[in-house]
Structure 1
Amino acid sequence: MYLQTLEPRNSSDVHFHNTRRTLERFTRYCQCATKRLSEITDYDLEEYLWLRKKDTWRGKPIKNVSLNNEIKMLNTCFAKAGPKEARGSGRANYGFVEHPPFINKLAHYSVTIRKGIF
């Protein structure tokens, strides 16, 4: 339902497709296809993050910035499924779960490049 809401509102298809891929990956990694939405816990999000950290992209580990983007997408989707409350015009939650799962973002470190060392 969140993706159906997101699709007409976003002018960019990139965010929609990235969110869909993240939700599909979360479902596959945590075997959530047979779980009810109310059965998904914070532990499932932590397990997803732990498994996702093991993935590589072009032979390199995935950066915390990319993982934080995925965390943000998942937190937003679960918050939207949370208890009904008005969040502005046309932005009410669905009310499927009383306490939606949540995970904090990872710390990302900025790298300072210094020239003239070599």
Structure 2
Amino acid sequence: MNDQPFGQRILSWAGGPADADRFVALGGIRLPAEPDSAALRQALDAVVARHPVLGEGPVPLRIVEDVWSAAAAGRYPPDARCLLWAYLAGTELLLVAHHNVTDPWSMRLLVREVLKPGNGPAPSY
């Protein structure tokens, strides 16, 4: 994974004209070991079920060579059924969510929740 800060990556996506499909928040992590993709899919779907603002599952999870390149090539329409997308390359996990429903701070919480699922209803902030 390129260790360039998230902010620089976001700015590199903002170089062109405003496009609703590109207005996203990112959350990424380098895991200590490669996760089981079936368990990861289940955890992602559980997070979306717990947070209805993210839409309805299943969460699109793509297994790729480079999470940043794959995410940069993706489209994230604000009217998609699910507003959370995931990319996995070995131990690197990148979550992308439309900014209409989340922000960078919340993405950190979503990453944590995917890795350690909570029980019960989501907090009502």
TM exceeding 0.5:
no
- TM-score normalized with structure 1 length: 0.32
Task: Answer 1 or 2: higher relative contact order, Cα 8 Å, separation at least 6.
Answer: 2
Which of the pair is proportionally richer in strand?
2
Structure with the higher fraction of residues in helix conformation: 1
Q: TM-score, normalised by structure 2?
A: 0.31
